[in-house]
Structure 1
Amino acid sequence: MGKWFEDLPAGHAFETPARTVTETDLVAFSGLSWDVHALHTDAEHARATPFGERIAHGALVLSMAVGLRARTGYFDDTLLAFLEIRSWQFLAPVRIGDTIRARNEVTEARRTSNPSRGVVVQRVEVVNQEDTVVQAGEMVSLMRCRE
């Protein structure tokens, strides 16, 4: 069982496990999303960009952050809905071979009009192996409350 609304007061922080971004991840995401921009799929093109090499799709890294958050077990059987992503920023490139993880801090927790539900707002920072913040924003979740 995951964390209940009552287990996630403002100020509560947690970090996810880490994951290395691979060539396979870029290829699979390109196929699933149909985002085959040369920055992600063409090494020669990417070499001539300011990045100097192919980089991961921003949406791929965001999706990985959501998955890494799920791996914590915090939301097992207690998350009712993922309501919103607010002010998401893509701050630095993620390259093949980078290892990312997500740092999370609850910034707001409030009950809804339904006593069995609460809304939790979390500041999320995706960081790489050098602790550089590569993406950041807020994720809003609808959580179960204890009866």
Structure 2
Amino acid sequence: GHLYHATTSFTSFQEHLGLLPDARRPSKFKYEVSCDDPVAESFFVDVWQNTARSNMLIYEEVFRTYPTDNVETFEEFEKWTGQMPLAEYSPQQAQEKLRDLNGTLVEFPLNFLCKANLTPGITSKEGLVPNAVFT
């Protein structure tokens, strides 16, 4: 019951942070990380959110990943995807950056295409269906 759930959650936190003993690429935190109290601000902000942000920034720089909060319009999307990722023009430097990843955790981009008009055109099959169907 409760103990199994707590153990599973604890293991899941460790896995996402790259802290499990058999991790493919173990994390290299500059301090000891404890997942004992995942709701503590010292864990959630200082470890979880900071790790997610750091990993996200590395992936964006190395691979120009998307969705990303750096892209709020289709024009910005064209510009973002038109720029060559670090992995293509400097593979050695990209490898060095990837060594700074801790686990697999990344931030979820909440503002991707937030200023873009995503309404389908009236002549498309999606445009013929009432908007209420999609909400």
* Structure holding more strand per residue: 1
Q: Give the helix-richer structure, 1 or 2.
A: 2
Work out whether the TM-score is over 0.5. Answer: no
Larger radius of gyration: 2
> Higher relative contact order by CA 8 Å / sep ≥ 6: 1 or 2?
1
Given the two structures, how large is their TM-score scaled by the length of structure 2? 0.29
